[in-house]
Amino acid sequence: MQKTTTAHSTARQTDLTEIFDTIEYPDAYRITYLANSIVFPTYAAIKRDFGLVRAEYILLACLSHYDELTARDVAQISMRPRNTISRAVHRMVAEQLIERRHNRVDKREASLTITKKGQRLHERIAAYLTQRQEDVFAGLNAQERQELSKLLRKTALHTAALNQ
């Protein structure tokens, strides 16, 4: 693989998007680039405006779609490390955004549910991610967007089965 530039100063004159086609794993790179383009600016705004870090909001988002989950469930759904989700649980319980009920048989396991306060916050924050997603995909027409959504869903379901 030949590099496009040899010095940092010439990189400014180079089309830095060439890597989308020249990298050895172009699809994974493009997906990562798109995800980062949505995630990083949005979570910076969420931290600034709501004081939540990524794992804390992911916890709210997951719990807003299920009656109850465990921290292990949230880690599996989100592909986030369990220790990160565990820290988020402690803070979100303290903030009264979620509730935790310990399992009577296994005290180490707890069921998590979102509170009304947490649900309201999730709805406000989801608007940030929804808007950024729309901005990123604005270059696609309706048919392309529908096809992309279909392919991403199919790939995500396949990957979920691989990860079990």
Residue-level pLDDT at 32: 95
Q: Is the pLDDT of residue 21 over 70?
A: yes
Please, what's the b/e burial string for 6-44 (b: 16 or more CB within 10 A of its CB; e: otherwise)?
A: eeeeeeeeeeeeeeeeeeeeeeeeeeeeeeeebeeebbe
- Mean pLDDT calculated for residue range 112-134: 96
* Confidence bin at 164 (pLDDT 50/70/90): confident
Angle between helices 71-78 and 54-63 (to 10 degrees): 100
Residue-level pLDDT at 86: 94
Q: Is the pLDDT of residue 7 over 90?
A: no
d(CA 151, CA 86): 32
* Confidence bin at 10 (pLDDT 50/70/90): low
Q: Is 126 helix (H, G, I), strand (E, B) or coil?
A: helix
Instruction: Decide yes or no: CATH 3.40.50.2300 for domain 25-162.
Output: no
Torsion of Cα atoms, 61 then 67 then 72 then 78, to 10°: -30
Tens digits of residue pLDDT in 22-79: 999 999 999 999 999 999 999 999 999 999 999 999 999 999 999 999 999 999 999 9
Residue-level pLDDT at 135: 96
Q: Is the pLDDT of residue 9 over 90?
A: no
Q: Is the pLDDT of residue 14 over 90?
A: no
Tens digits of residue pLDDT in 72-111: 999 999 999 999 999 999 999 999 999 999 877 777 789 9
Residue-level pLDDT at 123: 96
Domains of the chain by residue range: 25-162
